[in-house]
Amino acid sequence: MNPKAILLIADGMADRPLKELGWKTPLEVARKPAMDRIAANGICGIIDPIAPGIPPGSDTATLAMLGYDPSKVYKGRGALEALGMGLVVLSGDVAFRCNFATVDKDLVVLDRRAGRIANEDASLLSSKLQRVKLFKYPDVKFTFKNAVQHRAALIIHGPKLSTAVSDSDPESDGKQVLEIEALDGTKEAQRTAAIVNTLMHEFHEVLKDDPVNKARARRGLPEANAILCRSAGTVSQMPSLQDKFGIESACIAAVSLIRGVCRVAGMKLIDVKGATGTLETDYQAKAKAAVRALKSNDFVLVHVKATDVASHDGNAHLKIDATEHVDEMLSYIIDHADMASTYLAVTADHTTSSRTRNHEGDPVPVAIMGLDVRRDDVTEFGERTCAMGGLNRIRGIDLMSILMGLLGKTKKFGS
Amino acid sequence: MNPKAILLIADGMADRPLKELGWKTPLEVARKPAMDRIAANGICGIIDPIAPGIPPGSDTATLAMLGYDPSKVYKGRGALEALGMGLVVLSGDVAFRCNFATVDKDLVVLDRRAGRIANEDASLLSSKLQRVKLFKYPDVKFTFKNAVQHRAALIIHGPKLSTAVSDSDPESDGKQVLEIEALDGTKEAQRTAAIVNTLMHEFHEVLKDDPVNKARARRGLPEANAILCRSAGTVSQMPSLQDKFGIESACIAAVSLIRGVCRVAGMKLIDVKGATGTLETDYQAKAKAAVRALKSNDFVLVHVKATDVASHDGNAHLKIDATEHVDEMLSYIIDHADMASTYLAVTADHTTSSRTRNHEGDPVPVAIMGLDVRRDDVTEFGERTCAMGGLNRIRGIDLMSILMGLLGKTKKFGS
């Protein structure tokens, strides 16, 4: 039987030792029998997702761990988010992450999330915005679509566009909406900034008089009368995992950003009911979906966001709890996948410190279990124990090659 | 309180096991309670300053450990030495390390150091040399300045110069002074060689009849009647540490070369009375200066040359002694800095073998102590013990990113 691989990435699961945990990390404190079993029966190591000391984003780290060099293929978050929402972003398009927001008459932001507007209202407003005409730019089209609550994406399609433009989102309430500016001296950047500024103005004109907002005002809800946009990005032309390794692959992830990364890698996206990308996700449903996906795929990526959410909240105990839920997913996988023909790897995409509440540049632990891996002496999964493992210290971009090497899918160089 | 970092680099402190020390290294034999404390409370590893097996210079290794890729920014030792002596070297200038030397009438070198000429004599002669006119090259100016004893620097300022020129210094007594030659086919290299050859000839004419040398001859001292030059270099345009990491930084080093490296990195140079860059330096004065410098800097580099001097002399016991003095510096720092907010790192810039008396390509040990580093199981600082540490094996260029990552000064890549 052809060997398969599952890679479980727990977002931001790695941490630094915390005083409140007696200078242990949440991962070191968590009860995690499955991770320890993978470590004890597998080969361990530490990974610099990007490079030592450099704090990765989840996008760049996941690209690297799928075998892509983010310094070459990463072109901004906006396009990945839009892709992850199921939109089409072509090479040359420029995509933005957007928020429905509430502004006053001077365009000062009163609520960056328009009271976390309900999906129904946002959908109605989005369909109105999609009808806006860009008369000044007949060669340009756009796609605007809402996602969960206040979140949305905007894609500009057309020739001569650039991602080198600033955000209109001032990133905090009480500040005025920003003019989008060209970040370099190119005509393309100036043109893109002008197009998006025009669009933002038109959107505001449409939104401020829309009956949906009149109704919201009557109900005492903040009006969603402006769109804020940020993180201009586009997509790279890059080979799919099928092209690179000749494999069928699938992704089980709830957050748009990771779904977008997996889409550009040509992976199938598997929707799992109850998977939310939050602390209240259905962990077991994702584990079950992963085992099922093994039937028709060589490689399955499972991404869990909850560990990172807890870290950004600075809540070490919540992080321990999320880590233990991740461990239960791995238990399920070990019990239900055919482990004689499955390589199972667990890692984090980056360190998130529960003290600084930021992504940090410290390496992340990794363990790979499977038939004939060079099992080492590490018996516990953790940031420090894995540093003693047989993989030593590798780069994010090496992980996929190692897994594909175990599956016999990497190409020989030389003869 | 904002975290700070001190990096102590003991030049050439790493070694290979020596038969005379029962196949231990000087570092393994030395009594070094402070280094062991840093190792025991910190995270350890080994560093390839440049790359495995490649013997680094102190200049390239220090550039790397400050986060610069020496393969990109290193443009020869001459310019760094001149900068370290406080001279101005601009991009496009070509600078040389020089010696006052004694030659016979056939330009055969009798003493490459002119009897280690006293500073006073060298200063008088230098001021004469600075008055030489380069009539043939009206667009060229030069700066000549003596440093300690026979050491000096020459900087050629002007258009169309090149560092691709050979040395006039034959590197040993009994050999004739060399003509400087172009090392590539460019006009710039030919022109630079011609300019410096002209200057060397003019210098010889001035020196051989100078009253200072007449007086030296009367006192039975070797006449400083020629200048030897070597190591043509220029400076790179490179971002300062302030540009790269947004930090204030300072350097405590006595030797010109390291001071020059720190100057190109935009660091403040702190002069310490009694710091000599020799075995007879005031170690404790440098440690005190380092702790003081922490008040107004985010990052302080402390460099000690003595360990390398002893290695080049092939004197393992002197090296052990110098290592123990370095350890006392670290003791002072641990006792007097606020260790709750200071990351303290110790390493060597390269291995110098007390047997071969050369820089060698073996990695160097490193230990980093501080608040929430991932403390590992290493309890002794040494070339072999640190290889078992939690940092595993890193490159020189990674060290600064790791330290700046701990200070929260590295920029996130991605989102």
- DSSP structure string for B277-321: SSTT--HHHHHHHHHHHGGG-SEEEEEE-HHHHHHHTT-HHHHHH
Asked if B245 and B349 sit in the same domain, the reply is: yes
pLDDT at residue A240 in the model: 97
Residues A229 and A243 in one domain: no
Contact by Cβ (8 Å): B242, B267: no
Residue labelled with tokens 């038969």: B19
Of A15, A48, A18, A29, the C-alpha closest to B392 is A48
State whether B413 and A70 contact (CB < 8 Å): yes
Residue A252 near residue A258 (C-beta atoms within 8 A): no
Which of B394, B403, B413 is opposite residue A56, by nearest beta carbon? Answer: B413
- β-bridge partners, B103: B109
Instruction: Report pLDDT for B415.
Output: 87
> Within an 8 Å CB–CB cutoff, is residue A381 touching chain B?
no
Distance CA B132, CA B129 (A): 6
pLDDT in tens, A255-298: 999 999 999 999 999 999 999 888 989 999 999 999 999 999 99
**Residue at a domain's end among A211, A233, A255:** A233
Phi, psi of B354 (to 5 degrees): -75, -15
Reported as a pLDDT band with limits 50, 70 and 90, residue B400 is very high
- Are A54 and B401 in contact (CB < 8 Å)? yes
When pLDDT is averaged across residues B285-308 and rounded to a whole number, the result is 97
Q: Could A57 and B413 be called an inter-chain contact, meaning their C-beta atoms sit closer than 8 Å?
A: yes
Give yes or no for A357 touching B (CB within 8 A). no
Give the number of residues written for chain A.
415
Residues 6+ apart with CB under 8 A from A292: none
Q: Assess B413–A contact: CB distance below 8 Å, yes or no.
A: yes
Q: In terms of domains, do B63 and B187 share one? A: no
Are residues A56 and B414, on separate chains, in Cβ contact within 8 Å?
A: yes
Q: State phi, psi for B353 to the nearest 5 degrees.
A: -80, 125
The tally of CA atoms less than 13 A away on the side-chain side of residue A358 is 17
Check residue A108 and report its DSSP letter.
Answer: B
Whether residue A397 has pLDDT greater than 80? yes
Q: Say yes or no for a CB contact (<8 Å) between A77 and B415.
A: yes
- On the question of pLDDT at B25 being above 80, the answer is yes
User: What's this model's pTM, rounded to 2 decimal places?
Assistant: 0.92
Among A210, A233, A256, the domain-final residue is A233
Name which of B286, B224, B274 is nearest B6 in CA terms: B286
Contact of A357 with A27, CB cutoff 8 Å: no
Task: Name the band, by pLDDT with cuts 50, 70 and 90, for residue B241.
Answer: very high
The separation between CA A65 and the C-alpha centre of its own chain, rounded to angstroms, equals 12
Residue A291 lies in a domain: yes
Say how many CA atoms lie within 13 Å of A18 toward its Cβ: 22
B243 and B225, same structural domain?
no
ipTM (interface pTM): 0.91
Which pair of structure tokens corresponds to residue B288? Answer: 């005190």
- pLDDT at position A381: 98
Is the pLDDT at B55 greater than 80? The verdict is yes
Q: Do residue B229 and residue B246 come from a single domain?
A: no
Mutate to test the interface with B, among A73, A230, A362 (most CBs of B within 10 A): A362
| Chains A, B: CB pairs < 8 Å | 98
Does residue B402 lie within any of the structural domains?
Answer: yes
A288 plus A370 within the same structural domain: yes
Is residue B1 over pLDDT 80? no
* Residue A250 is assigned to a structural domain of this protein: yes
Give per-residue burial for A371-399: e unless 16+ CB within 10 Å, then b: eebebbebebbbbbbbbbbbbebbbbbbb
CA distance linking residue A60 with residue A71, whole number of Å: 8
Whether A136 maps to a domain, the answer reads: yes
pLDDT, tens only, A321-333: 999 999 999 999 9
Residue A31 has pLDDT above 90, yes or no: yes
Say yes or no for a CB contact (<8 Å) between B411 and A18: no
* H-only helix segments in A117-159: 119-129
User: What's A360's domain CATH number?
Assistant: 3.40.720.10
In a domain, B128, yes or no: yes
Q: Between chains, do A384 and B375 touch, taking CB under 8 Å as contact? A: yes
Q: State whether B96 and B49 are in the same domain.
A: no
Contact between residue B96 and residue B229 where contact means Cβ atoms under 8 Å apart: yes
Q: What is the pLDDT of residue B143?
A: 97
What would the two tokens of residue B218 be? 């009367």
What's the whole-number mean pLDDT along residues A59-75? 97
Extract the tokens encoding B262: 């720190």
Predicted local distance difference test score (pLDDT) of residue B201: 96
How many distinct structural domains can be found in chain A? 2
First to last CA, chain B: 27
Please check whether residue A338 lies inside any domain of the structure.
Answer: yes
Alpha helices in A103-173 (DSSP H): 119-129
B390 close to A (CB below 8 A): yes
Contact between B401 and A52 using a beta-carbon 8 Å cutoff? yes
Q: What residue type is assigned to position A144 of the chain?
A: F
In chain B, the residue whose alpha carbon lies closest to the alpha carbon of A55 is B412
Domain residues for A133?
A: 87-233
Cα of B2 to nearest chain A Cα, Å: 12
Segment B269-282, tens digit of pLDDT:
999 999 988 888 99
Stretch B129-142: mean pLDDT: 95
What the block records as the tokens of A359 is: 């992504």
Query: A111 and A64: one domain?
Result: no
Residues of A with CB below 8 A from B373's CB? 16-17
Among all residues of chain A, which has the CA nearest to that of B410? A54
Q: Is B410 on the interface with A (CB under 8 A)?
A: yes
Q: With respect to residue A81, please indicate whether it lies within any of the assigned structural domains.
A: no
CA distances, A321 to each of A313, A333, A385, B120 (Å): 13, 19, 20, 73
pLDDT class of A148 with cuts at 50, 70, 90: confident
Q: Does B135 touch chain A (CB under 8 A)?
A: no
A56 vs B contacts (CB less than 8 Å): 412-414
Residue A304 has φ and ψ, to the nearest 5°, of -125, 125
Q: Are residues A269 and A393 in the same domain?
A: yes
pLDDT surpassing 80 at residue B144: yes
Contacts of B388 in chain A (CB under 8 A): 388
For residue B240, pLDDT beyond 80: yes
**pLDDT for res B18:** 98
Residues A108 and A70 in one domain: no
A384 reaches B (C-beta below 8 A): yes
pLDDT at B28 over 90: yes
Chain A: nearest CA to B415, how far in angstroms?
Answer: 4
What pLDDT shows up at residue A402? 98
pLDDT tens per residue, range A163-184: 999 999 999 999 999 999 999 9
Residues B223 and B257 in one domain: no
pLDDT at A37: 98
**What pLDDT sits at residue B47?**
98
Q: Which residues of A touch B394 (CB under 8 A)?
A: 52, 393
Q: Identify which of A51, A77, A388 has the shortest CB distance to residue B401.
A: A51
Q: Kindly give, in sequence order, each residue whose CB lies less than 8 Å from that of residue B160, ignoring residues fewer than 6 positions away.
A: B187, B188, B191
In a domain, A325, yes or no: yes
Residues 66-95 of A with CB under 8 A from B: 70-71, 74, 77
pLDDT of residue A278: 87
What are the DSSP calls for B145-210, one per residue? EE-STTEEEEEEESSS--S-B--S--SSTTSBPPPP-BSSS-HHHHHHHHHHHHHHHHHHHHHHT-
Distance CA B347, CA B251 (A): 15
Same domain for B207 and B278: no
Cβ contacts (< 8 Å) between B372 and chain A: which residues? 16-19, 23, 353, 355
Q: Do the chains contact at A52 and B408, CB–CB below 8 Å?
A: no
- For B390, nearest residue in chain A (alpha carbons): A387
Least CB–CB distance from A361: residue in B390, B401, B414: B401
pLDDT at position B148 is: 86
- Residue ending a domain, choose from B233, B248, B275: B233
Taking CB atoms and an 8 Å cutoff, what residues of chain B touch A255? none
> How confident is the model over A392-404, as a mean pLDDT?
98
Tens digits of residue pLDDT in B88-100: 999 899 999 999 9
